[in-house]
Structure 1
């Protein structure tokens, strides 16, 4: 039996989430991609969605009209935008899907909230706590005893070392590294390629090696 699943966001990130759905389905389909919703889709993205043979359903308010057992997942890379969309989704009352690519690894004693998405090659080791709507992109690592709050995004090839604390809506840029035992405050941004060697306050942007 398959369950209808709607992806919020038909940009590149959302279409990559569709790839995860299809990989999860494999030979025993669990999800039926019922369509994308997006309030302001670019014309080029609508054409790309059409080539993937999944319909564009309309704006987010279209979710009000769907059967109550339809699941949703957010396919938006920006954690702050994803947080705003998540607040809207709560109002629609639809169940939220969690997606772990079969080529991702989630170790023992890892807890994660609804809407968690792990892309191919993501590695989560052990005793890790992950919040709602957290996205771990391709080939990222999250070390032991770390905590990632709601809406965190870890971009491709980034590394979060053991015993780290990432606040809500933190963005970790591509190939960035956060050294062991550090805390990154809510809504902070770690620039691509940065190496974080000390705690990062909430709401700031750091970049470089070492990150400043």
Structure 2
């Protein structure tokens, strides 16, 4: 069994706990289970603290507490924002903590894939063959990732998004709920693809693409 902390007391942090609990329920070997020793958050709201306590989880403290006290040596980032994920992961990695990933047992993951540390794949996600998921990629419920696609580090794919085959999505990019990226396209670093957008051409780094077909300011 691996002791871990979940970083993030908000909505995605609690969804991450759902993925961990589902993972543990189907583990045959005890050593494959993940033991959540607590939640780390610099500024948790009262309502989120109460929601976590109702599930028998406690907020232990913020990042400084984690680094100073080491209640666990492994962490899972339950945070939706790609940029915030990057900032926190880089700090924790410098301090020698280790990223832990988890895949929901009701996700479908194909063959010949590369899944790096810190990846979270939620229930109902469909990941095809020869897909690369770099560090701390999050694939939310019911998202679809097509064959031969590469999602770079800290990318977040929101619920119901469809990434077609042979797509590259750059680091710290957010793909909104229900968005579609068509086959063979390139999306640069730090982009935001709006909810329900349909991307029909390459998106330069730093752009926010919205609409059908998706457009952005030049």
TM-score w.r.t. length of structure 2: 0.93
Deviations 1:42-68 (A, max 9, x none): 12111111111011100011222125x
Which ranges in structure 1 are unaligned for 5 or more consecutive residues?
A: none
Aligned mates of 1:6, 1:48 — CA distance in 2: 17
What stretches of structure 2 of length at least 5 have no aligned partner?
none
Task: Please provide the CA RMSD for this pair.
Answer: 1.1
Deviates more, 1:114-123 or 1:44-53: 44-53
**Would you say 1:56 and 2:32 are equivalent positions?**
no
Equivalence for 1:122: 125
> Given that residues 26 and 105 in structure 2 are in contact (C-alpha distance below 8 angstroms), is that contact kept between their aligned partners in structure 1?
no
The 8 Å contact of residues 63 and 92 in structure 1, kept in 2 or not, is answered as: no
Query: Counterparts of 1:27 and 1:40 in 2: how far apart (Å)?
Result: 33
- Return the alpha-carbon distance in structure 2 between the equivalents of residues 27 and 146 of structure 1: 28
Equivalent residue of 1:34, what SS? Answer: strand
Please list the CA deviations of residues 107-162 of structure 1 after superposition, one character each: whole Å capped at 9, or x if unmatched. 11100111000000111100111110000000001001111100000000000000
Normalised by the length of structure 1, the TM-score is: 0.96
Structure 1 segments (4+ residues) deviating >2 Å:
none
| Superposed CA offset, 1:24-44 (max 9, x none) | 000545011110001111121
Question: What is the CA–CA distance in structure 1 between the aligned matches of 2:26 and 2:85, rounded to whole Å?
Answer: 31
Quote the residue 1:66 is aligned against.
70
Aligned to 1:137: 140
**Maintained 8 Å contact 1:40/1:59:** yes
